[in-house]
Structure 1
Amino acid sequence: MTQSVPKIRIRNLSKSFGSNHVLRDVSMDVEAGTSFVIIGGSGSGKSVLLRCILGLMVPDSGSIEIDGQNIFDLSSAQRNEKLQQMGMLFQNAALFDSLPIWQNVAFALLYGHRKNKSKVSRNEAYDTACRVLELVGLDPDIVGYLYPDELSGGMQKRVGLARAIASKPEIIFFDEPTTGLDPIMGAVIDELIKSCVDQLGSTAIAITHDMASAQRIGDHAAMLYKGELIWQGKANELLTTNNPYVHQFTHGLRQGPINVETKIK
C-alpha cells in the first residue's frame, strides 16, 4: 500500500539572521484537506516559517515540498504558479483602503493573474465577490461598495477571509486570525474559517497564540520554541498533553521551562 504525499512536507528547515537562529531543523507534514495550527510565543519562529512556506523567504538549509515538489528548486514562473494556488488571511486583514470592498475581495481575480489567459471579467469577479461575501455572513448589497474604514474590525476580518477564499485556493494561511477581536467575534471568525475551509476542501495552516482558536480551527497542531519544533499532535490535545513547554504555554503559567524575562523599573 502506497503512502500518500503530504500537501506540504517540511524537512530540516533552518533560518538564521546573523547569530539569531530563528528556525532550527524544523520538520513537519501537513496532510491535504486538514487544518494545521502552529503555536508559540513571540519570537518563536512562527512568522518566519510561514514566510518560508509562502516562498517569500529562503531558508539557510532544508526543504519545503508542496505536492512533492521542493519550491526552492522551481523556477520563478513555477513558484509564482504555486503561489497562485494559495490564499492568505493577514493578521490585520490588510485591506486596500482605496478600493471598495468587492474589489478587495476580488483583488486576485482582477489583478493577480495577468499572465493567465483565462482571467475573469470584471462582472465575473463582482459575482464571485458577492458570493463569498455571503459565505462569510456579509450582505454584498450593503457592504460591497463601502470602503474598509467604514467597517468594524470584525467585518474587516470577514472581508479578509472572503478575499482569502475568493480564488478557491488549495492552501490557505491564517496569520493570528482572532487578534484584536473580542472572544465572541473571535469564535464567529473561527467558525467561518472552519466552514469555508471544509467547503473548499482546502489545506489550512494557521499561526496563533489563542488556544481557544487553535482548538476550534485545527485538526493537528505543533509548537515552536526558540525556533525548534518541540511538540506535534492533535489540536484537541493541546490542553492535556504532558509536554511541559506546551502545558505551560497553553495554560498561561508563569512557572515552567519557558523563562519569561520581565523588567520593572
Structure 2
Amino acid sequence: MTQSVCKTPKIRIRNLSKSFGSNHVLRNISMDVETGTSFVVIGGSGSGKSVLLRCILGLMTPDSGSIEIDGQNIFELSSTQRTQKLQQMGMLFQNAALFDSLSVWENVAFALLYGYRKHLPKVSRSDARATAYRMLELVGLDPELVADLYPDELSGGMQKRVGLARAIASKPEIIFFDEPTTGLDPIMGAVIDDLIKSCVDKLGSTAIAITHDMASAQRIGDDAAMLYQGELIWKGKAKELLTTDNPYVHQFTHGLRQGPIKVETKVE
C-alpha cells in the first residue's frame, strides 16, 4: 500500500485568540493556508479580519494560540529568526501606501534599494531600476511613461498597480492583500484582481486577502473563510461564497438586512 504523505501547510493557525480588555476580537481561530493557494477572509467591520492579519504579520502578539509558517511557530523563534521568516512576506496595503517623496520606480524598488530584507542584498540603483521596470510591466504599466512620476500624479487604479509591483518586487513567498479593490470602480477592480491572480500564480506565492468585495473574493480566492464577532463561522471554497447555505455567509454575501447578523442603526 502507498502511504499518504501529510503536506505541511504554508500557514497553520491554531486556537488563536486576541482581546483588548473585555473586547474579544479573535476567539480560538484555527485555519490552514496551503502552499501556492490564495485564501480570502471576509467579514463585516469589527469582525477581526485586520487583527488576524496583523497577528500573522507579527505586528501584534496574540493572547494564546499559535501561528506556524512552514511548520515553525513564529512566536517560538528568536527575534532574528522571526524577522527572517517575516521578511519572506509582501503586502499590498488598502490605499497602496506609496511613499510620496519617492518616484514610482523608487517605490517599487524600495526593498532592493534600502535592503530592509536581509535575504535581499542591496543592489545598485541601475539594477534596482531595471527590476522596477520589469515589475511595472508585469502589472500592465509602461515604465517609460510612469517610472519617474510621483504617486500624486497617478490615478487610484495606477497607484494600486504600483503598490502591487512593490509587493512582488522582492519575490515574496507570502503576499497579503488588504481590501485590494477599495476605492476602485468595478471594471478597475476586476483588472486589479486579474493582475493579483496572475502575479501570484507566476511567482508561485501563497496569498491571503481580506475583503468586503464578494466579486473580488471569488476572483482572487481558491479557499475562503468568514469571521463574525471574532469567530471563524465558515470555511470552504471561494466559489461557494454565494451558494453556501450557511445563514451568516448567505446574509453577508447577498447584502440582506434580515438574518442572524444584527446591524444596529440609529435614527435621530
> Is the TM-score greater than 0.5?
yes
**1:216 Cα deviation (Å)?**
0.2
Per-residue CA distance 1:90-129 (angstroms, 9 max, x = gap): 0000000000000000111111437558322222111110
Q: 1:25: which partner in 2? A: 28
- Tell me whether 76-85 or 203-212 shows the greater mean CA deviation: 76-85
Task: Give 2:18's match in structure 1, choosing from 15, 19, 23.
Answer: 15
**1:75 Cα deviation (Å)?**
1.3
Q: 1:71: which partner in 2? A: 74
Please give the alpha-carbon distance, in whole angstroms, between the structure 1 residues aligned to 2:70 and 2:24: 28
Task: Give 1:108's match in structure 2, choosing from 106, 111, 116.
Answer: 111
Aligned-partner SS, 1:92: coil
Q: How does 1:180-191 map onto structure 2 within 5 Å?
A: 180-191=183-194
CA 61–261 in structure 1, closer or farther in 2 if over 3 Å, else same: same
- How many residues matched? 265
Q: Is the 8 A contact 2:179 2:210 kept in 1?
A: yes
Please give the alpha-carbon distance, in whole angstroms, between the structure 1 residues aligned to 2:47 and 2:117: 37
Aligned-partner SS, 2:66: strand
Structure 1 unmatched ranges of 5 or more: none
Matched, 1:42 2:45: yes
Q: 2:155: which partner in 1? A: 152
CA 264–96 in structure 1, closer or farther in 2 if over 3 Å, else same: same
Under a length normalisation based on structure 1, what TM-score does the superposition of the two structures give? 0.98
Matched, 1:135 2:138: yes
Q: 2:126: which partner in 1? A: 123
Per-residue CA distance 1:199-233 (angstroms, 9 max, x = gap): 00000000001000000000000000000000000
Matched, 1:178 2:173: no
CA 162–117 in structure 1, closer or farther in 2 if over 3 Å, else same: closer
Matched, 1:83 2:86: yes
Q: 1:193: which partner in 2? A: 196
Q: 2:266: which partner in 1? A: 263
**1:84 Cα deviation (Å)?**
1.4
Q: 1:3: which partner in 2? A: 6
Q: 1:254: which partner in 2? A: 257
Identity over aligned pairs, percent:
85
Matched AA of 1:58: T
Per-residue CA distance 1:43-100 (angstroms, 9 max, x = gap): 0000000000000000000000000000001111111111211000000000000000
Matched, 1:55 2:58: yes
Matched AA of 2:245: N
Q: 2:166: which partner in 1? A: 163
Please give the alpha-carbon distance, in whole angstroms, between the structure 1 residues aligned to 2:80 and 2:125: 25
CA 56–117 in structure 1, closer or farther in 2 if over 3 Å, else same: closer
| Aligned CA-pair RMSD | 1.0
Under a length normalisation based on structure 2, what TM-score does the superposition of the two structures give? 0.97
Structure 2 unmatched ranges of 5 or more: none
Aligned-partner SS, 2:51: helix
CA 55–254 in structure 1, closer or farther in 2 if over 3 Å, else same: same
CA 139–181 in structure 1, closer or farther in 2 if over 3 Å, else same: same
Q: Is the 8 A contact 2:87 2:118 kept in 1?
A: no
